[in-house]
């Protein structure tokens, strides 16, 4: 079964607004990663947060991790039309050699 | 660097035909992966490899075989294609996870249709 579950499944906002996506998972993890997928393309890594970290920033991206709630959030600030894409969280279980991806959040930025 | 490349980009098969998808990476990564992506679903791991000459089953391995004869190449084979294997297939690679960075780098995908 899927380890990561994103919420919402789809999000539509106006350009310039902030977008927040959430990811929940079931078991203890080593790290959690967020990826972006533009239509018809492969996934691109955005950011990785380890289990002993609570928050990370990368440009307009802010990721938080709450291991007690087994959840993570991805915040994109000052959204742009180019941010329109699907966003996936992926978790690495402790001791595992692979990632498990969620079903993704489809983000649409309206001009 | 080309990163991760996949061949072919598109393919149409008839039920029962066989084919091989090729993935190549030029980043000297130890780990390589094959995923399939279906509408409304995330990526599901088919098979993966933690090094040259090794392979392991993922979440949905049935109907597929893989080989990793060279470190830079990872082949995915469909022995007898079925309509349920219509999907977009992605290859990815990463460094050894114990090095602390297991970011996966993805290829552009192969869109396969089985009639």
Residues, chain B: 115
Closest CA to B60 of B80, B39, B33: B33
* pLDDT computed for residue B97 by the predictor: 63
Does residue B114 belong to the interface with chain A, where contact is any CB pair within 8 Å?
no
Q: Is the pLDDT of residue B100 over 70?
A: no
Q: Write out chain A's pLDDT in tens, 111 residues.
A: 446 688 899 999 999 999 999 999 988 888 899 999 999 899 999 999 999 999 999 999 999 999 999 999 999 999 999 999 999 999 987 777 788 899 999 999 999
Determine the residue of chain A that is closest to B32 in CA distance.
Answer: A98
Q: Is the pLDDT of residue B74 over 70?
A: yes
- Is the Cβ–Cβ distance between B92 and B104 less than 8 Å? yes
SS3 B115: coil
Q: E strand or H helix at B22, and its extent?
A: strand B19-25
* pLDDT computed for residue B114 by the predictor: 97
* pLDDT computed for residue B95 by the predictor: 85
Q: Is the pLDDT of residue B23 over 90?
A: yes
Determine the residue of chain A that is closest to B41 in CA distance.
Answer: A103
State percent of chain B over pLDDT 90. Answer: 85
* pLDDT computed for residue A93 by the predictor: 77
Does residue B103 belong to the interface with chain A, where contact is any CB pair within 8 Å?
yes
Q: Is the pLDDT of residue B99 over 80?
A: no
Contact residues, chain A, for B108 at CB < 8 Å: 41-42
Query: What's the whole-number mean pLDDT along residues B21-25?
Result: 98
Query: What's the whole-number mean pLDDT along residues B96-105?
Result: 72
> Residue B86, Cβ neighbours under 10 Å: how many?
16
* pLDDT computed for residue B102 by the predictor: 80
Q: Which of the four pLDDT bands, split at 50, 70 and 90, describes residue B40?
A: confident
Q: Which of the four pLDDT bands, split at 50, 70 and 90, describes residue B45?
A: very high
State how far the Cα of A110 lies from the Cα of A16, in Å rounded to an integer: 9
State how far the Cα of B23 lies from the Cα of A47, in Å rounded to an integer: 24
Does residue B74 belong to the interface with chain A, where contact is any CB pair within 8 Å?
no
Phi, psi of A56 (to 5 degrees): -140, 150
* Segment B78-93, tens digit of pLDDT: 999 999 999 999 999 9
Nearest CA-CA distance, residue B54 and chain A, Å: 13
| Structure-model confidence comparison of residues B40 and B72, the more confident one | B72
């Amino acid at each position: 079964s899927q380890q990561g579950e994103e919420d919402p499944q789809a999000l539509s906002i106006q350009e310039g607004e902030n977008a927040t996506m959430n990811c929940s998972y079931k078991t203890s993890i080593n790290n959690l990663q967020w990826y972006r997928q533009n239509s018809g393309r492969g996934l691109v890594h955005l950011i990785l947060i380890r289990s002993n970290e609570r928050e990370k920033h990368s440009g307009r991206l802010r990721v938080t991790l709450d291991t007690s709630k087994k959840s993570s959030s991805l915040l994109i600030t000052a959204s742009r039309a180019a941010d329109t894409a699907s966003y996936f969280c992926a978790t690495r279980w402790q001791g595992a050699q692979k990632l498990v991806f969620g079903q993704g959040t489809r983000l649409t930025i309206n001009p | 660097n080309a990163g991760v490349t996949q061949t072919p980009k598109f393919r149409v098969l008839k039920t029962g035909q066989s084919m091989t998808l090729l993935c190549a990476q030029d980043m000297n990564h130890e780990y390589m992966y094959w995923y399939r992506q279906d509408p409304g679903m995330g990526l599901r791991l088919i098979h993966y490899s933690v090094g040259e000459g090794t392979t392991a089953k993922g979440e949905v391995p049935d109907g597929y075989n893989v080989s990793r004869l060279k470190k830079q190449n990872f082949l995915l084979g469909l022995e007898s294609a079925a309509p349920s294997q219509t999907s977009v297939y992605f290859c990815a690679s990463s460094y050894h996870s114990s090095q602390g960075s297991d970011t996966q780098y993805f290829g552009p995908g192969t869109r396969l249709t089985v009639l």
